[in-house]
Structure 1
Amino acid sequence: MLRLSLFLLLCIGIVPAPCQTSASKYQPGTILQVERHHVGASNTDTEPTQYDVSVRIDETVYVVLYTPSYGSNTVEFSEGLEFLFSVGKETLTLATPGKSDGNTNLPILRTTKLPAQPAIDWSKAPSQYYSMKMKNLSTELNLSDEQQAKIKPIAEQESAEAGGVIFTQVVPRKERLSQWEKIVRLSDQKMKPVLSQAQWQKLQELRKDQKRELKDLIAKKDSEGRK
């Protein structure tokens, strides 16, 4: 593997576009790997150097083709860096305010779907309950900035209340699950006016998955505590 530290002077942000819709919302993507793009023997040294850049967005890894600006063979895509991308059918669009050249549209060479992960990593709750919940809601429900602003205080209250009951072994397991369900039911009712019908139905599906994950984790923690 050829490791390259490639320098790209970019300010990360959302690109305003007259025809941009909610479907083209920018999402954070993490650079996983950068390799020189291999070309056929018929290509000459006069052709531009290109790179295969692996980007993880949620649970999908995209390998895209990057071509540096004319006259330059360097770009900065170091492993672990985060940029904003809009996912299209055939390209990833890199958010580059003030730039409109072809380098911001990266052709997708291939994609890899990663194994599904729990909606919330309960092993990190309650310390990270709020941050994980907001990220999960924003991603799964495709929340607008306005919706996120309205839901934030609701999620904060839920996190404070749920975090206090989930992992206390003083309260029986069934009672903890019951208390958690009451907390999220009230939280959901507050969120309902902010959400579309499709988002509301998706939220209820997420809650079912979370309850199953939480039930399994509490049982596991209780079993470990008795050893």
Structure 2
Amino acid sequence: MSNGDIPWEEKVTALDAVNRLREEFLARGWFPASSGSLSVRIGGWAPDRYTFAVTVDETERPELLEESSLRAGVLFVDAAGEPCEPTRLKPSPDTPVHARIYRLTGCGAIVHVHTAYNNLLSEYFNADGGVPLKGNELLKRIGIWETSTEIRVPILPNAAELSTILKRIAGGLDSRVPAFLLQNHGIYAWGSGLREAKRHLEALEFMFEVLYRSLLLPSKGRHI
């Protein structure tokens, strides 16, 4: 299904959903300095043919965008990350990463945010290749029902060249974990739709904060 074959009401629903979630994440402080990106896939899917709505490049938002409908802050792009319709706007610089995740997973939505916790832990556990999570009830919210099982949220080395990052994604994914971290950058989490992707992100961010705070606790034999 090409962009032209997708019903308009499906496009409008996607635009509104992405913008509502964007506003929520802005309020949470998860898009510091206009960073981060959101996307949702619409229409049919094949590994090399699909369409998704993605937030625009915030660093190049023209003034007219601030005065027009919020829907103007989202573009429809193809599997190559190129806009499907004429526009003066540019998709988020993260769009190729979104496109690669869709191609590899067939998921329905992707959320990418920068937080202090995911940045700190991606650096602290970088040599281990992933952030270890075990024993937390919220593991169930990402589909891990045996909370005694340890998982590791993959950490991919960051790079100045986007092409290098893209090459690392396929080999860095864990089929049990709907997310990965870029070292000192942020998290990409996904799901069947925006609601599930948001749930996965919230669960992981909560567990990241718990893990970070646990690393600061004094040993049991020490009293302050």
Place the TM-score, normalised by the shorter chain, in its bin: under 0.3
| TM-score between both structures, scaled by the size of structure 2 | 0.25
| TM-score between both structures, scaled by the size of structure 1 | 0.25
Structure with bigger helix share is 2
